[in-house]
Chain A
Amino acid sequence: MSAPATHALTGQGAARAQTGLPAGAQAPAPALAALARRPLFPPAAWAGLLAATAALALLPLLNLAFAPGHPLHVSAYAVALLGKFMCYALAALALDLVWGYAGILSLGHGLFFALGGYAHGMYLMRAIGRDGVYGSDLPDFMVFLDWKAYPWYWSFTDHFWYAMLLVVAVPGALAFVFGYFAFRSRIKGVYFSIITQALTFAAMLLFFRNDTGFGGNNGFTDFKRILGFDITAPGTRAALYWATLAALAGFLVLARAVTQSKLGRVLTAIRDSESRLRFIGYEPLGFKLFVWTLSAVMCGIAGALYVPQVGIINPGEMSTETSIEMVIWVATGGRGTLVGPIVGAGAVNGLKTWFTSVFPEFWLYALGLIFVLSTLFLPQGLVGLARRLAARRGKEA
């Protein structure tokens, strides 16, 4: 028994081990109960989350309350940019749930993002009413194609809540059906990734066609109002920003709850050794399907929040690059950390904004470089780097 003894003295768990666990005790030993019942977030993380949410929530207020030129004024451009980044962050969070935890690398999350965007876009198109260029009841692109009536699948999309239902249901149903067949056939790893990529590419080609009824390569744009409010008004923009922030913070807490539950441990077990998990009595199909569908729904909601803030949705959102960029946000921020992808989406897109204004033609090279460098030097991403630095400082102190 010499080997276990030395481990107990040198290992990280030694501190906890020395607390002592009386054998055969009736109530669970405190050390075990602490392992079994973990809080959703440690108190410091709750404080950080609330502080970050409050700080982000303040920005549109600063934009509305102070006139341009005032030192506390935040430009409308900055607010719009952050609102857009938060949509990306929500998509990255969704991707982290499947990739970081369950080990399912999706190269097709752009599809769910775009579907959510299109579903909301249908409502926004109908909300234009007769204010389009042709003054028709139909959207301009339908008039241009000489269509006389809405296709059947546009039914009821003039109702906001029905469109919101589609935002959740369409990506969710697609992910469920696709996931069911893929996971049931035990398609894994790179094969699964390629199939998601192919699915997204096929959808992009479909949406590029004018006959599909979604505006072809121009997509939807020129939105005028949402729920009766002028979509370009600063107040509406602030409300959209706050809705995005609320969704991001809410889904972060939800994702944390999922990953801290026993189901979260089953997901990481699927990632690490799926066949082993089968032998202890879990059927991975249901778990993968759950997290995959949840992720697609979150991504759809991100897309739906994105469209009114950016003012356009077109099949470009389904392009290969978009989905791969999402993967890079997650990898850069830190896979399997939930906060990491949010940080990563912000950091990479911040860099992109700067880069595309200075050297627009080199952005894709820079993106590739970021991916290579973060894979080589930051295996756990920015969050992993921060944790390493914090641990080192803790040791020195």
Chain B
Amino acid sequence: MPDKTRHGPGAGPQPEAGAGGTAAYGRVSPAGVDTAHGAILYLEDVTVSFDGFKALNRLSLDIGVGELRCIIGPNGAGKTTMMDVITGKTRPTSGTAFFGQNIDLAQLSESQIAHAGIGRKFQRPTVFERHTVFENLELAMRADKRVRPTLLGRLTDEQIGRIGHTLDLVRLTAHAGREAGLLSHGQKQWLEIGMLLMQEPLLLLLDEPVAGMTDAETERTGELLDELRGRHSLVVVEHDMDFVTRVAGGGKVTVLHEGSVLAEGTMSEVQSDPKVIEVYLGR
């Protein structure tokens, strides 16, 4: 369904039809998800209304394979609702959400969507506070997560090595045996990103990854995203404009407003868009 990538009325300017700007065509093509057209996520005319209030209003968006897409927008623009639709927490009132060309997200449960390869980091860190850092990563690790293998399985050396690698990546090796509830706020955020990485997701959704972080932690998170860039498709929802400017680089930024796409382009294009300025600076 290549035609689904065309934007609906009300959507902002879109430079190319089909895949996003920085998409690497067909580079990651795991079994199950068909990304032959270069895009990993398509939202088409998605509307979500709560008692008549439209949290999303005919939102259309597509994310390329391997792309790092930043999504910004004022409060209430529908950013979190969009994440909820993608992860199956909220069902669209109308419109379609596809993972690759072939997986209809509206048909799957939250855990099935996670299995298909979409990982989500929540706004507030939601690690398992009473499990150790190691156990958090172990629980998240891509594996057969049905009852019997979970009861009888034992970690292989290779799996322990993978956990060790992720611990290094998120700089929590020294804290592996601590209860996650004892970590600092920034460390919890990284642990959560580490948990996402353990699932080897194809698409990673990060909801305000640097909210509440110190400058040093924010900088470290930027480095972490740089390391993930290209290896995973990433969607970053963020309020912190400096951070968005830093991680977006020359990549595409999408501005949401009142539940639909207001503008799309590089950070400098978007920042000079009069509509965006009006929304951000008040009317």
Q: Mask for A19-35, Cβ within 8 A of B = 1, else 0?
A: 00101111111011101
Complex interface: chain A residues within 8 A of B157 (CB): 27-28
* B window 197-213: CB within 8 A of A: 199
Q: Does B164 interact with chain A (Cβ within 8 Å)? A: yes
B130–A4 touching, CB < 8 Å: no
Binds A, one of B21-29, B60-68, B179-187: B179-187
28 residue pairs from A and B, CB less than 8 Å apart = A3-B186, A3-B216, A3-B217, A7-B184, A7-B187, A13-B175, A13-B176, A17-B176, A21-B168, A24-B165, A25-B164, A27-B157, A28-B164, A32-B160, A32-B163, A32-B164, A32-B167, A35-B132, A36-B163, A261-B150, A262-B150, A263-B151, A269-B139, A272-B130, A276-B128, A280-B139, A286-B147, A290-B151
Complex interface: chain A residues within 8 A of B146 (CB): 283, 286
* In the complex with contacts A28-B157, A276-B128, A36-B171 CB distance below 8 A: no
Complex interface: chain B residues within 8 A of A283 (CB): 109, 111, 145-146
In whole angstroms, how far apart are the Cα atoms of A265 and B135 in the complex?
8
A262–B139 touching, CB < 8 Å: yes
Please pick, from A3, A33, A276, the residue contacting B126 in the complex, using a CB distance under 8 A. A276
Complex interface: chain A residues within 8 A of B111 (CB): 278-279, 281-283
* In the complex with contacts A11-B182, A279-B110, A36-B138 CB distance below 8 A: yes
For the complex formed, measure the closest distance between the CB of A107 and the CB atoms of chain B, giving whole angstroms. 24
Secondary structure type dominating chain A contacts:
helix
For the complex formed, measure the closest distance between the CB of A319 and the CB atoms of chain B, giving whole angstroms. 33
For the complex formed, measure the closest distance between the CB of B103 and the CB atoms of chain A, giving whole angstroms. 15
Q: Does B241 interact with chain A (Cβ within 8 Å)? A: no
For the complex formed, measure the closest distance between the CB of B209 and the CB atoms of chain A, giving whole angstroms. 16
Complex interface: chain A residues within 8 A of B140 (CB): 280
In whole angstroms, how far apart are the Cα atoms of A29 and B176 in the complex?
12
Name the residue of chain B whose CB is nearest to the CB of A280: B140
Complex interface: chain B residues within 8 A of A37 (CB): 154-155
In whole angstroms, how far apart are the Cα atoms of A21 and B120 in the complex?
29
Q: Mask for A22-55, Cβ within 8 A of B = 1, else 0?
A: 0111111101110111000000000000000000
In whole angstroms, how far apart are the Cα atoms of A1 and B146 in the complex?
38
Name the residue of chain A whose CB is nearest to the CB of B169: A23
Name the residue of chain B whose CB is nearest to the CB of A276: B126
Residue picked from A28, A266, A287, most chain B C-beta under 10 Å: A28
B177–A35 touching, CB < 8 Å: yes
Secondary structure type dominating chain B contacts:
helix
B138–A265 touching, CB < 8 Å: yes
* In the complex with contacts A16-B177, A261-B151, A263-B151, A4-B171 CB distance below 8 A: yes
* In the complex with contacts A261-B152, A263-B150, A279-B120, A35-B176 CB distance below 8 A: yes
Given A17-B176, A28-B160; 8 other pairs, CB 8 A cutoff: A4-B175, A21-B164, A35-B132, A263-B150, A263-B151, A279-B119, A279-B120, A281-B199
Residue picked from A11, A29, A280, most chain B C-beta under 10 Å: A280
Residue picked from A16, A25, A32, A268, most chain B C-beta under 10 Å: A32
Q: Does A8 interact with chain B (Cβ within 8 Å)? A: yes
In whole angstroms, how far apart are the Cα atoms of A132 and B227 in the complex?
81
Complex interface: chain A residues within 8 A of B195 (CB): 280
For the complex formed, measure the closest distance between the CB of B109 and the CB atoms of chain A, giving whole angstroms. 8
Q: Does A62 interact with chain B (Cβ within 8 Å)? A: no
Q: Does B99 interact with chain A (Cβ within 8 Å)? A: no
In whole angstroms, how far apart are the Cα atoms of A2 and B186 in the complex?
11
